[in-house]
Structure 1
Amino acid sequence: MNEKSESKYVKRTQKDYSYSFKLAVVQEFESGQISKGELKRKYGIQGDSTIRNWLEKYGTFDWANKTPGTMPKTPEQKLLELEQKVRLLEKQKKELEQQVEKSDKKAILFDMMIDIAEKEFNIPIRKKSLPGQSKPTKKNTKKQ
């Protein structure tokens, strides 16, 4: 039983692609990571001019003057960028919280290990700080 899974050709339209997907493809192309042809293969985009149209609509390249520039972003583009930044920051925050929790657990574990070692070997491991440590004195420098 040697069955091949055949991919059925599905004609897609512009309405099949979400606004955020189009912006992501444009951003990926403009960052220089990948070519238009590779994007077509990667995401299954069928039309030859689809990505070019998206670049003209949503990209930062000034197609009228043929110069790269900063075209004003629409409020929707700004909102989507801010939402992506918020998601990224939330992910980073979660990772940092996990690292802090892990570090706290390590500190507790090391304290327990030191306590056990001090009891087992009957030696002081922790440095005892002196209660009356003096503060550094200020030098009086007078101009003569």
Structure 2
Amino acid sequence: MEKPRKGTQTGTFVTYEDSFKIAVAREYLEGKLSQAQLGRKYGLSSGEVVRYFVNWYKKYISQAEVWESGSPLASNADQGLQEELRLAKLKITALEMMINIAEKELDIDIRKKSGTKPPVK
């Protein structure tokens, strides 16, 4: 997977897309690779970037998941639903990444832009 970028390295900070940060953070949290290994895998400048992604993920994404579930201590019946929700979010992330790659490789806009006008007949 190529690292998506929204900026340039000359004079400004490189900004990564949220879907890329989520994917890298989740891969790290699964525990299969270290921060340094993930940094090398995705061509990041260092493992510190992966650490930033994980902290960002824990702060914003995980917090939103707790709010959606209503309470951090959910019953066993809710755990199945939470697992389905987690898998659905993972699928959404994968689809967003696929759209981003397709837009980049095919050089077309797939997503509808807000405020578009209907064609004049």
Same fold (TM over 0.5): no
| Higher share in helix | 2
TM-score by length of 2: 0.41
Structure showing greater relative contact order (alpha-carbon pairs closer than 8 Å, 6 or more residues apart): 2
